[in-house]
């Protein structure tokens, strides 16, 4: 009896058996190359993990800056090699904790940071010259980067010694996530200003982490994830070039952020295809000559959307498989989700177990013993070609609409992702897609679980901190700083220097964003589903 072929998440059929014919007519050198060499299908470094493991980041942030600082110290003490900061929703949207719109959201999905004082508490006792920090912040990314620089300077750390990444990828906010503030044009200008500022002031900083992760969490399949991410990346490169920068002056500091799902083979293929596509775009379309400009370096986070509140301990197995997909795919850094994240913020024990998952893979298995262990696999090589073909077709559709920004304004990417998300939910509801513990292998009664809860008093405490700050600071200095920022935002000059002066005078995140809102306005979304 014939078996119906299974389809990959990206839509192509997965053959029951692969053989040499899958690669017939394709030049192996062109498809693969060697690790660390163009087109980087096999990895961006010649030795990959045989030299040292990937950076083990743990994404954390909740409640007050002091509470998050305590968690960061625990993660570092437990062997974490990089910090990754989650900010609460008001901070992500450019509002202070005492703003009426922030009510009920302060400290809930990340840490509340209202001023340079909060940032100083967040990194108290953590030498910024010796740690790499990633900050998941987009519309107000420039502000949080400058606050980090100010804290580093207060610690005596030169800006040139600071290392890390700021996400700064506002285009995907319009597509999938929603924490935008300004319209696309001034938002892209702000991105380019960060590129210029960091080249001069913070040269080791990764100025953007172009993110497919949040599109995947919204429902994008692997081909959509890399297609829309790389299309956004093309838009950022074009913006920087239009601002007068040379491609090899900024492209080496571009980085990417992808998801790792449980479909291990397709995920490995996705990462390999993404590297190959990006290398060709940078060399052939933009004329990049520096090999660093052609290398797609990326951070990976395991798929939060695939975690279940039912039988949460099963998520330990899911996260392990997802982490393996990222490692086999050649990620440069990795965050493993905690098993209880579908219920609430991770407990300390769950966060430690997530980190231990990476450490077991790095030190107790042989996955770090050889570079690109799936190279030459008939199945993975064929899947890599299939994902690449599907992604390139989607990128062409974006270009037909005038590029990423124009397609966003037409609602194209958002509608495509929503259709995929709807299809996946239908399959789950119908039982044709198995989710262990949800639509198969269920328990009659779930075991009780005590999650971590954020103290609702944080909102009052943050409001009190803001009141003290406003009473103690120089109102005249803040006014001068914000006025200078408005004037600069209305003209062509880089907004980061006056922004830094305002923040140094203890202007708040909300006040700085409000000053820019006055000049640039805000964005209203388009729905086309």
Q: Record the tokens describing residue 263, joined without a space.
A: 């479909």
Kindly list the structural domains of the chain, giving each domain's residue range(s) and its CATH number in brackets, ordered by start.
38-430 (3.20.20.240)
Q: What is the mean pLDDT of each run of 10 residues along the chain (529 residues)?
A: 74 76 57 86 93 86 89 84 88 97 93 97 94 93 98 97 96 94 96 96 95 96 98 97 96 96 98 98 98 97 96 97 98 95 88 94 94 92 96 98 96 96 96 95 85 83 96 98 98 98 98 98 76
| DSSP-derived 3-state class of residue 56 | strand
The answer to whether 91 and 119 have CB atoms below 8 angstroms apart is no
Classify burial at 440, counting beta carbons within 10 Å of its beta carbon; exposed 0-12, middle 13-18, buried 19 or more: exposed
How many whole angstroms from its chain centre is CA 439? 30
Task: Answer positive or negative: Cα dihedral of 503, 509, 514, 517.
Answer: positive
DSSP code string of 377-429:
-HHHHHHHHHHHHHHHHHHHHHHHTTSHHHHHHTTHHHHHHHHHHHHHHHHHH
With tokens 């990340």, the residue in question is 110
Please state, in angstroms and rounded to a whole number, the distance separating the CA atoms of residues 210 and 168: 8
Tokens at residue 327, please? 């490692």
Q: In the numeric block, which tokens belong to residue 188?
A: 């892209």
**Omega of the bond prior to 39 within 30 degrees of 0, cis?**
yes
Paired with 303 in beta bridges are: none
In three-state form (DSSP H/G/I as H, E/B as E, the rest C), the secondary structure along 204-237 is CEECEEEECHHHHHHCCCHHHHHHHHHHHHHHHH
**DSSP H or E stretch at residue 135:** strand 132-136
Question: In whole angstroms, what is the distance from residue 208 CA to residue 455 CA?
Answer: 33
Q: How far apart are CA 137 and CA 167, in angstroms?
A: 6
Question: Which pLDDT does position 147 carry in this prediction?
Answer: 98
Neighbours of 46 (CB within 10 A): 13
Q: What is the pLDDT of residue 529?
A: 46
pLDDT score of 24: 55
């Amino acid at each position: 009896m014939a078996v119906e072929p299974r389809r990959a998440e990206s839509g192509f059929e997965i053959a029951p058996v692969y053989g040499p014919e899958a690669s017939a007519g394709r030049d192996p050198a062109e498809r693969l190359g060697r690790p660390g060499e163009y087109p980087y299908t096999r990895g961006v470094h010649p030795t990959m993990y045989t030299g040292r493991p990937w950076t083990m980041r743990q994404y954390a942030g909740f409640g007050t800056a002091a509470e998050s600082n305590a968690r960061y110290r625990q993660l570092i003490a437990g062997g974490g090699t990089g910090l990754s900061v989650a900010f609460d929703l008001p901070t992500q949207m450019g509002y202070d904790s005492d703003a009426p719109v922030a009510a009920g959201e302060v400290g809930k999905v990340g840490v509340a940071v209202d001023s340079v004082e909060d940032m100083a508490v967040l990194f108290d006792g953590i030498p910024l010259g010796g740690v790499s920090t990633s900050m998941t912040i987009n519309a107000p990314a420039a502000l949080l980067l400058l606050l980090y620089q100010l804290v580093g300077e207060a610690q005596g750390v030169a800006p040139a010694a600071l290392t890390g990444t700021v996400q700064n990828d506002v285009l995907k906010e319009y597509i999938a996530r929603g924490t935008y503030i300004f319209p696309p044009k001034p938002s892209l200008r702000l991105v380019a200003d960060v590129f210029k500022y960091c080249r001069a002031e913070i040269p080791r900083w990764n100025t953007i982490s172009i993110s497919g992760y949040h599109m995947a969490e919204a429902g994008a399949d692997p081909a959509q994830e890399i297609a829309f991410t790389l299309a956004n990346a093309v838009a950022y490169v074009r913006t920087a070039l239009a601002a007068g920068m040379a491609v090899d002056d900024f492209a080496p500091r571009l980085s990417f952020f992808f998801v790792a799902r449980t479909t291990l083979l397709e995920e490995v293929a996705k990462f390999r295809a993404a590297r190959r596509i990006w290398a060709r775009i940078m060399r052939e379309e933009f004329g990049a000559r520096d090999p660093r400009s052609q290398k797609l370096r990326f951070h990976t986070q395991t798929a939060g959307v695939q975690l279940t509140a039912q039988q949460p301990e099963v998520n330990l197995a899911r996260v392990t498989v997802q982490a393996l997909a990222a490692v086999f795919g050649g990620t440069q850094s990795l965050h493993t989700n905690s098993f209880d994240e579908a219920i609430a913020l991770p407990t300390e024990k769950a966060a430690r177990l997530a980190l231990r998952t990476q450490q077991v893979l790095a030190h107790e298995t042989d996955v770090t013993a050889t570079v690109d262990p799936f190279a030459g696999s008939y199945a993975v090589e064929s899947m890599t070609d299939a994902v690449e073909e599907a992604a390139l077709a989607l990128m062409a559709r974006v270009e037909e609409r005038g590029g990423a920004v124009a397609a966003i304004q037409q609602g194209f990417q958002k509608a495509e992702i929503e259709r995929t998300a709807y299809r996946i939910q239908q399959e789950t509801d119908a039982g044709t897609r198995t989710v262990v513990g949800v639509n198969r292998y269920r328990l009659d009664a779930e075991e009780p679980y005590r999650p971590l809860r954020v103290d609702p008093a944080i909102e009052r405490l943050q409001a009190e901190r803001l009141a003290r700050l406003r009473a103690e600071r120089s109102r005249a200095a803040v006014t001068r700083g914000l006025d200078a920022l408005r004037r600069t935002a209305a003209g062509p000059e880089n907004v980061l220097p006056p922004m830094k002066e305002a923040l140094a005078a203890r202007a708040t995140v909300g006040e700085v964003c409000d000053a820019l809102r006055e000049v640039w306005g805000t964005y209203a979304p388009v729905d086309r589903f």
